[in-house]
Amino acid sequence: MLDFDWNLLLEIDWVEIGEATLDTLTMLGVSMLFTVLAGLPLGVLLFISAPGQLRARPRLYAVLSFLVNVLRSLPFVILLIVLMPFTLLLVGTSIGVAGAIVPLVVGAVPFFARLVENVLREVDRGVIEASQSMGARLPHIVFKVLLPESLPGLVGAATVTAVALVGYTAMSGVIGGGGLGDLAIRYGYQRFQTEIMIVTVVLLLALVQGLQSAGDSLVRRCRFD
Amino acid sequence: MIEVQSISKHYQHGGKTIAALDNVSLQIASGEIYGIIGRSGAGKSTLIRCLNLLERPDSGHVSLHGDDITRLDERALQQRRQRIGMVFQHFNLLRSRTVAANVRFPLELAGGQSPAQMDARVDELLALVGLKDHKHKRPSQLSGGQKQRVGIARALANHPDLLLCDEATSALDPETTDAILALLADINRQLGLTIVLITHDMRVIRQLCDSVAVLDHGRVVEQGEVLDVFLAPQHAVTQSLLAETGMGQGALQGIWRQRVATPVIKLTFVGEPTLQPVLDKVGREVGLRVNLLSGTLSEIKDTPFGQLLAGVVASDVDVSALPAIFAREGVRCEVL
Ligand SMILES: Nc1ncnc2c1ncn2[C@@H]1O[C@H](COP(=O)(O)OP(=O)(O)OP(=O)(O)O)[C@@H](O)[C@H]1O
Ligand SMILES: [Mg+2]
């Protein structure tokens, strides 16, 4: 490190870095959006269908829970490859940024849903019971009690998921997904251009830091005291 | 009138079956405050939760003003529950909502009111429980007593015809307890609302209730008007619950019987005689001198009452004549 030649920084193709950054942000933003859209309902479903819960459906829960575990146990690289035909069918391509988004979502949804389930379990049973005693129906309980009461926890879960997605996007280079992680691997690892690797790693670090502190401050803002 | 007809509820626990409620029947008159007391695990919570079917009994019926709610379907039951208020030991307020929004919650569930109507009702309720100034606070910024006031306001929002209180004051200090009990008594008087409350504290029963049922191991072992149960407790559980609050039979009686061995009389005052110098008067008339062994003087709802246990030291008349003499003064006397 000490003999690092700072002039190398000038030779870096900053346009390519810029594009890669944009790709990462696109993949992150779009996949996060779909992850929340699909993961939140799945998490709620897991919570209410669990044995002893509001709409206990032990068989349904067992099936959902198993599927979630299967998806979570697969290494993301494997998921990327296994899902290629499905991605092709869904978005018309299985490569590039668009091709990466499907596996990203499929990888993150079970992760986020499980976090959501756990956050919802923390909601005071007494409060749920109180709303039942007032004649609340299930949709009331979900939208007026469970989700608002656990908002800080849900924001926290989304933050953790977003950070995990940053890690997943780095692997999407395998299918030509692009992005910063891909750049780091192609230049830094395969062509020994350490300087590019350093720059991308610094950018990824900044992204993760930014996500985490944005998430933390949001959680603080929506806490109830 | 609320009628509980032989309800039973069993729980499976570790392969064993526990009878939380065993063939319980109760009749609760409209407009009264009905207390249910018992030791921990006696089945009190299970019983009160059967009154709005948060818990479904395995068998038996619960009817409110003639309607058997155990026959209602899910949707109809939810509708009915909107007019059964419930107050909880741990308040169970929504942390995510302000005081006003918590009270508004049951109105939102019931629907059919404009936001302005709901706000007006919320203000009315907060005034009733004395929380007007705390409208915009969160539950976390309130004291226990204030939280329970929010709980009560919330329970009253949809003009219930029945209010259920599961140990509503057990998490509060004695002074706050008194204030909350006074509020409940007020509500009962002002709105003519039937209240069923659970407690393990005889003082709560004494201060507030008209009738009481004593529950033990899932069975009703004693029930009746509070005054009767206090003055002549029949069951051992009732007696020990009373003894804990200093309203039982004094232990001095035993020592008196061993060392002095003269007769012991029990005097029971209800109402006006409690405020008269009856013992003094009878004492002068028949030369009765007694040594007090234990005594309770208090009031149940607004009726003063007293019960004294006394060892007879001297008497011009035979002890067996005393009951008739005291009866003239409106005081019951028993020779023990
Ligand atoms: N969900 C449940 N599952 C298993 N057993 C239960 C359940 N709820 C209550 N019980 C059992 O039923 C019995 C009565 O419980 P309940 O909560 O009604 O008592 P309680 O009189 O309210 O006691 P406490 O004063 O401690 O609140 C107890 O033995 C309890 O362990
Ligand atoms: Mg209880």
The string of pLDDT tens digits covering residues B282-327 is 889 888 999 888 887 888 777 888 888 888 988 898 988 899 999 9
Cα(A17)–Cα(A10) distance, integer angstroms: 13
- The whole domain housing B183 covers 2-244
Residue A140 with chain B: CB contacts under 8 Å: 109
pLDDT grade, residue B251 (50/70/90)? low
B9 pocket-lining for ligand 1 (C-beta < 6 Å): no
Read off the tokens for B310: 């006394």
For B150-218, the DSSP string reads: HHHHHHHTT--SEEEEESTTTTS-HHHHHHHHHHHHHHHHHH--EEEEEES-HHHHHHH-SEEEEEETT
What is the pLDDT, as a whole number, of residue A140?
Answer: 96
DSSP class of B141: G
Complex ipTM value: 0.86
Same domain, B54 and B174: yes
- A170-207: per-residue pLDDT in tens? 887 777 777 888 888 777 767 777 788 888 889 989 99
Which amino acid appears at position B44 of this protein?
Answer: K
**Which ligand 1 atom is at minimum distance from the Cα of B21?**
14
Q: Record the pTM.
A: 0.87
Cα–Cα nearest to A70, from A34, A106, A30: A106
Beta carbon of B11 within 6 Å of any ligand 1 atom: yes
Q: How confident is the model at residue A133 (pLDDT cuts 50, 70, 90)?
A: very high
B302: domain CATH number is 3.30.70.260
| B9 Cα: distance to centroid of ligand 1 (angstroms) | 10
What local confidence, expressed as pLDDT, does residue A195 receive?
81
Q: Read off the CATH number of the domain in which B220 is found.
A: 3.40.50.300
Which pLDDT value is given to residue A1?
52
Closest ligand (CA of B44): 1
Give A129's contacts in chain B (Cβ within 8 Å): 54, 88, 92
Answer yes or no: are the C-beta atoms of A177 and A75 closer than 8 Å. Answer: no
Distance CA A54, CA A151 (A): 19
Pair (B273, B182) in one structural domain: no
Q: Say which of A127, A140, A225 has its CB closest to residue B109.
A: A140
Which ligand sits closest to the CA of B42?
A: 1
What pLDDT score was predicted for residue A4?
A: 64
CB contact under 8 A, B78 and A135: yes
Q: Is B49 in the pocket of ligand 1 (CB under 6 A)?
A: no
Query: Is B44 near ligand 1, meaning CB less than 6 Å away?
Result: yes
Q: What domains does chain A contain, in order, with CATH numbers?
A: 16-221 (1.10.3720.10)
Q: Is B314 in the same domain as B207? A: no
Checking DSSP bridges between strand B84-88 and strand B67-68, what pairing results, if any?
A: unpaired
| The predicted structure's pLDDT at residue A87 | 86
The beta-carbon neighbor of B96 closest among A135, A140, A151 is A151
For A125: left if phi > 0, alpha if psi spans -120 to 50, otherwise beta; the answer is: alpha
**B46 is written with which tokens?**
């299970």
Residue that terminates a domain, selected from B226, B244, B262 = B244
Pick from B227, B238, B215, B235: which is nearest to B307 by CA?
B227
Contact B186, B198 (CB under 8 A): no
What's the rounded mean pLDDT across residues A155-171? 92
Whether B149 and B205 map to the same domain: the answer is: yes
A137 contact residues in B (CB cutoff 8 A): 75, 78
List of residues 6+ apart from B111 with CB closer than 8 A = none
Residues B240 and B308 in one domain: no
My answer on whether B122 and B270 are in the same domain is no
- Share the mean pLDDT of chain B: 91
The minimal CB distance from A135 to the residues B82, B95, B140 is found for B82
How near does any CA of chain A get to the CA of B143, in Å? 14
Range A83-108 average pLDDT? 87
Q: Are residues B56 and B191 in the same domain?
A: yes
What's the whole-number mean pLDDT along residues B325-331? 90
Final residue of a structural domain among B214, B244, B274:
B244
Q: How confident is the model at residue B248 (pLDDT cuts 50, 70, 90)?
A: low
Nearest Cα residue to A178 out of A66, A2, A20 = A20
Is residue B132 domain-shared with residue B154, that is, in the same domain? yes
User: Going by CA atoms, what residue is nearest to atom 14 of ligand 1?
Assistant: B43
Residue A3 binned pLDDT confidence (cut-offs 50, 70, 90): low
- Residue B295 sits in the same domain as residue B183: no
Same structural domain, B205 and B261 = no
Non-local (6+) Cβ contacts of B76 within 8 A are none
Which of B215, B244, B273 corresponds to the end of one domain?
B244
**Ligand 1 center–CA B11 separation, angstroms:** 9
pLDDT at B14 over 90: no
The verdict on B61 touching A (C-beta cutoff 8 Å) is no
Q: Which of A3-7, B163-167, B217-221, B275-279 has the lowest mean pLDDT?
A: A3-7
Residue of the CA atom closest to atom 2 of ligand 1: B11
A4: left (phi over 0), alpha (psi -120 to 50) or beta: beta
Question: Do B189 and B93 lie in a common domain?
Answer: yes
Share of chain B above pLDDT 90, in %: 65
Mutation for B interface: A132, A133, A145, A223, most B CBs within 10 A:
A133
Residue A165's pLDDT is: 93
Query: At CA B37, angle to CA B34 and CA B40, rounded to 5?
Result: 145
pLDDT at B246: 67
Q: Is the domain of B229 the same as that of B259?
A: no
Q: Considering its fold, how many domains does chain B have in total? A: 2
